[in-house]
């Protein structure tokens, strides 16, 4: 199984809503990532989890709250988002955070904030 | 932090021709250089990668070269096909992935 699975695939939410994005992998990877991708732009790193601990937070606003319940799951909790937060949110995983192994990406959640 | 530059931003080639995309990086500690292909509305997928102890790697029609001294690496696609049309991202990594700005490749039948 070389899949990273993200749910939901599409999400429309209002600025006062609370929602969560979910990511799951069963490859035994110990590093998991959240990226934000705007149209025609590269993925932009948000958070890195290593062995279920947050190791990198790229100065992401607190309206995005990551959570790693176990080594296979990664969540991104969303609250009070702005329209400019509309984007494709990609989850990825890799063997570790040493950075010299392939990162596998999920298919993404396309988020629209209205 | 690492800074990865990628050129060109758009590239159009005739089917059967070759395509070359170039990237430079700034941090000599980066030791892993993957290339991702992203089709419209889909996830980035690894097409080839190279590590800092290797100068060149080839997989069928795709090759990557790395010049550590000059801190640049390139993707070469030969005998291009319409299904090669996509956005290609290079990346440099030591403990996280830094992506280039992307190249939109169009292969004209």
Read off the pLDDT of each residue in B84-96 and give the average, rounded to a whole number.
92
What token pair was written down for B43?
């996830």
Name the residue among A100, A105, A107 with its Cβ closest to that of B93. Answer: A100
| Percent of chain B at pLDDT exceeding 90 | 88
Distance in Å, alpha carbon of B41 to nearest chain A alpha carbon: 9
pLDDT, mean over chain B:
95
Distance in Å, alpha carbon of B102 to nearest chain A alpha carbon: 6
Q: Per mean pLDDT, which range of A1-10, A61-70, B30-39 is the poorest? A: A1-10
Contact A58, A109 (CB under 8 A): no
Distance CA A85, CA A111 (A): 8
Q: What are the chain A neighbours of B95 within 8 Å (beta carbons)? A: 97-99
pLDDT of residue B4: 96
Query: What residue in B sits closest to A31 (Cα-Cα)?
Result: B96
- Residue B47 at interface with chain A, using a CB cutoff of 8 Å: no
């Amino acid at each position: 199984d070389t899949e990273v699975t993200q749910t939901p695939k599409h999400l429309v939410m209002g600025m006062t809503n609370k929602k969560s994005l979910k990511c799951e992998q069963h490859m035994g990877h110990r590093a998991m990532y959240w990226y934000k991708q705007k149209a025609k732009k590269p993925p932009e790193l948000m958070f890195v989890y290593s062995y279920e601990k947050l190791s990198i937070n790229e100065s992401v606003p607190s309206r995005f709250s990551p959570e790693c319940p176990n080594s296979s799951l990664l969540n991104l909790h969303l609250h009070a988002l702005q329209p400019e937060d509309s984007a494709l949110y990609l989850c990825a995983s890799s063997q570790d955070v040493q950075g010299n192994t392939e990162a596998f990406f999920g298919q993404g959640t396309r988020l629209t904030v209205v | 932090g690492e800074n990865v530059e990628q050129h060109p931003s758009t590239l159009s080639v005739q089917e059967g021709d070759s395509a070359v995309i170039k990237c430079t990086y700034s941090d000599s500690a980066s030791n892993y250089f993957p290339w991702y292909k992203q089709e419209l509305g889909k996830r980035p997928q690894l097409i080839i990668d190279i590590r800092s102890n290797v100068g060149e790697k080839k997989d069928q029609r795709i090759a990557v070269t790395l010049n550590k001294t000059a801190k640049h690496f390139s993707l070469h696609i030969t005998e291009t096909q319409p299904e090669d049309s996509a956005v290609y991202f290079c990346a440099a990594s030591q403990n996280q992935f830094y992506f280039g700005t992307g190249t939109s490749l169009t292969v004209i039948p």
